[in-house]
Amino acid sequence: TEDEIILFEREMKEFWTKLKSIYGTEQINQTLALRDSCKESIKALSEKWSKKLKEGDLMIDKIQEYSNEILQQSQRISENQEHLTEIKSNLNQEEEQKKDLTDSIQELKEELMKKKEIISSKNKATKERMERLCKSKVLFEERLGLEIRRIHNEQLQFIFRHIDHKDPDKPYVFTLSINEQGDYEVTSCTPPLDCIAELQLKVRETNNFSAFVANIRKAFTALSYK
């Protein structure tokens, strides 16, 4: 170090002072030349090691800088890994939700198809029943003095005449529809009949529609004599 060099130079001066008093000038000059050579060598060596020390410090600083950078990169990689794990988890959840939604949509489609088939079947049965009723129109008109009209909401209106002997043209009317269960349902009756619910229940049990219409006409006839 520099302190050691200064101490060494001081000791050398003291040594040369003592040496001068003991030896001659020529020897002293030779010794001085040797001393100067040693000093130059020591100075060169000192400069060399000082340079190497500085280079070593720079290298240590550089290594520390690289270490800090590697640490930061490691932290970023760890954070990115956690973020990727979170994204993957979210994607898995979304995939499960998508599958559940797809399954629900498929179930709804199947249920809708079943309902459509049921409705189509009921509509077909209703249409066929209405067609049979319409085909019976001529028979009812000829034998019972009955007029049948198709009105709104696929309903049939039955109009009886020639019931009241005092007023043969007076209409006795009931309206019939087929409900969602496919059963006959009287939606209106003029004049009202107390037995209409009983007759409606009976035709649902027997499916004898001709007897149902005939019984209603009998009830209207009985009502006209009251």
CB atoms closer than 10 angstroms to residue 19: 15
Q: What angle do CA 165, 169, 174 make, to 5 degrees?
A: 100
Q: pLDDT value at position 142?
A: 67
Put simply, whether the predicted model's pTM sits higher than 0.85 gets the answer: no
Distance CA 159, CA 191 (A): 11
Specify whether 177 is located in the same domain as 116.
Answer: no
List, for residues 130-188, the tens digit of each pLDDT value. Answer: 676 666 666 666 666 789 999 988 899 999 999 998 999 999 999 999 998 889 999 99
Which tops the pLDDT comparison, 212 or 137?
Answer: 212
Say whether both 110 and 182 belong to one domain.
Answer: no
Give the domain extent around 108: 86-142
Domain presence at residue 1: no
Q: What are the pLDDT digits (tens) for 80-137?
A: 888 888 888 888 888 888 888 888 888 888 888 887 777 677 667 767 766 766 666 6
Is 105 in the same domain as 154?
no
Q: Is 187 a member of any domain?
A: yes
Please report, for the domain that includes residue 156, its CATH number: 3.30.457.50
Q: Same domain for 127 and 107?
A: yes
Domain boundary among the residues 118, 142, 166 is at 142
Task: For residue 42, name the pLDDT band (cuts at 50, 70, 90).
Answer: confident
What is the per-residue pLDDT for 136? 62
| pLDDT attached to residue 6 | 82
| In a shared domain, residues 158 and 202 | yes
Domain contains 77: no
Q: Report yes or no on 56 lying in a domain.
A: no
Q: Which of 109, 126, 142 is the last residue of a domain?
A: 142
From residue 67, give the alpha-carbon distance in Å to each of 47, 63, 128.
30, 6, 90
**Counted domains in the chain:** 2
Most confident of 7-11, 32-36, 159-163: 159-163
- Measure the CA–CA gap between 128 and 203, rounded to whole angstroms: 17
Whole-number average pLDDT of the chain: 83
